[in-house]
Amino acid sequence: MNPAHVLQRHAIGTPMQDLLRATREQEGGAVFGPEKVPTAALPRPLLDFDGVSLEYATDQQVVRATHRVSLSVFEAERYVLLGPSGCGKSTLLKAAAGFIAPREGQIRLDGQAITGPGPDRIVVFQEFDQLPPWKTVLGNVMFPLRATGRLARAEALERAHAVLEQVGLADFANAYPHQLSGGMKQRVAIARALAMQPRVLLMDEPFASLDALTRRRMQEELLALWETVRFTLLFVTHSIEEALVVGSRIGVLSPHPGRLRAEIQAHEFGLGSSGGPAFQAATQRIHGLLFGPETPHP
């Protein structure tokens, strides 16, 4: 798919995004503190962090990873958690996946408190060589459907074919991972996750270890895929540029322990806009939020 074309369509946004943007524009700007988020006029969030403090207890001490983080992710959003290393991004994602319970506050999916892992939240890992090499693309996508006992063989086969069609890999159903490019392997990994029909896809710095060109191609692939499937994404990164490109909205976290400093609208930005004046201005603004003095909200 032509990325410029994809990005053009991105600029239009979903009705939900348009509503969010309209509400925010009334608030007089794209950046505002968490206390000003105008939630009253919005539909119920899909994934809701409500005053979430997360801690690790070691033998000697308790480490607070995040402090009272409140944010809401809506259906079909690409919400990015952005913050410096060690600010608790991965911990927030693990808590959303249900691997860690909040010390304080609650995380809700569709209004229900999350109490453990579940197939409604799937984590896509960093290494796209996570695909067993001895299984075909089809076999890889079918595997979790069968292993979790969710579907009988015939249904799993049907679901896998449908998802591969959706992500543009129908012609590669019988290929093996080593025959695919990095981007295609990523698509298979995401297809495998989407086949489970999760409510939210969770990605933790998936492109962090890649060279700049591959990283860009992966971002392009991810956006193109979102354009067709419109899944809900919670994506973690410490790169401002990546946050602006990938995200429709960005939650900016303070250094350790992570608090939500601001939320930024980002769906006017895409791969085509990086380097442009608006993009530069947004980058500067976020840089100030991340590394400048505390923002003055209480």
Q: What is the binding site for ligand ADP (CB under 6 A)?
A: 56, 58, 63, 65, 83, 85-91, 256
**Cβ pair 124, 202 in contact under 8 A:** yes
Task: Closer to ligand ADP by CB, 204 or 220: give it.
Answer: 204
State the binding string over 60-99 for Mg ion (x if CB under 5 A, else -): ------------------------------x---------
| Closer residue to ligand ADP in complex, CB, 88/251 | 88
Comparison of 72 and 91: residue with beta carbon closer to ligand ADP: 91
Is the separation of the CB atoms in 195 and 57 below 8 Å? no
Report the amino acid identity of residue 149. Answer: G
> Cβ of residue 88: shortest distance to Mg ion, in angstroms?
8
Does a cis peptide bond (omega within 30 degrees of 0) precede residue 84? no
For 165, the enclosing helix (H) or strand (E) is helix 153-166
Which two structure tokens, joined as six digits, stand for 58?
Answer: 């070691």
CA 190 to chain centre: 12
**Least CB distance from residue 266 to Mg ion, whole Å?**
20
CB of 284 to ligand ADP, least distance (A): 22
Say how far apart CA 233 and CA 249 lie, in whole Å.
Answer: 11
CB of 98 to Mg ion, least distance (A): 17
Q: Which is nearer to ligand ADP, 47 or 95 (CB)?
A: 95
Backbone φ and ψ for 82, nearest 5 degrees, come out as -120, 135
Give the interface with Mg ion as residue ranges (CB under 5 A).
Answer: 90
